[in-house]
């Protein structure tokens, strides 16, 4: 799937309200110091890694409506947009 199509599909899966939510700053927690959190193309641990979060990210909403039933958040770091596990994100 092309990156733009994957992004559009991911935004639609969050629903209209969540896709337009105001971003909130979150920081990475629960990982070894210096270890980055992967940003994935889709809310799935097997999805392509499109970037990483080293310290902070903007979060646009979270969902656990995923095949694995784990909670993923829509994130942005710089120009990179994707999904990260909620387990490793804490409000800043």
| Separation of CA 6 from chain center | 13
What CATH number should be reported for the domain holding residue 9?
A: 2.30.30.40
Q: Containing H/E element for 6? A: helix 3-14
- pLDDT at 16 (0 to 100): 37
pLDDT band at 20 (very low <50, low <70, confident <90, very high): low
Q: Could you tell me the residue range of the domain that residue 64 belongs to?
A: 3-91
Over residues 88-92, the mean pLDDT reads: 95
Residue 25 has pLDDT above 60, yes or no: yes
pTM of structure:
0.76
Residue 6 pLDDT exceeds 90: no
Mean pLDDT of 27-45: 95
Question: Band of the pLDDT at 3, cuts 50, 70, 90?
Answer: low
Domains of the chain: total: 1
Q: DSSP state, 9?
A: H
Would the pLDDT of 31 be above 70?
yes
């Amino acid at each position: 799937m092309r990156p733009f199509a994957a992004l559009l599909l991911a935004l639609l899966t969050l629903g209209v309200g969540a896709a337009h939510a105001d971003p909130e700053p979150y920081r990475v927690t629960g990982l070894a110091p210096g270890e980055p959190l992967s940003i994935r193309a889709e809310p799935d641990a097997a999805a392509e890694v499109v970037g990483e979060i080293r310290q902070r990210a903007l979060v646009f909403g979270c969902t656990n409506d995923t095949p694995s039933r784990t909670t993923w958040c829509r994130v942005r770091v710089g120009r990179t947009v994707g999904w990260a596990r909620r387990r490793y994100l804490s409000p800043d």
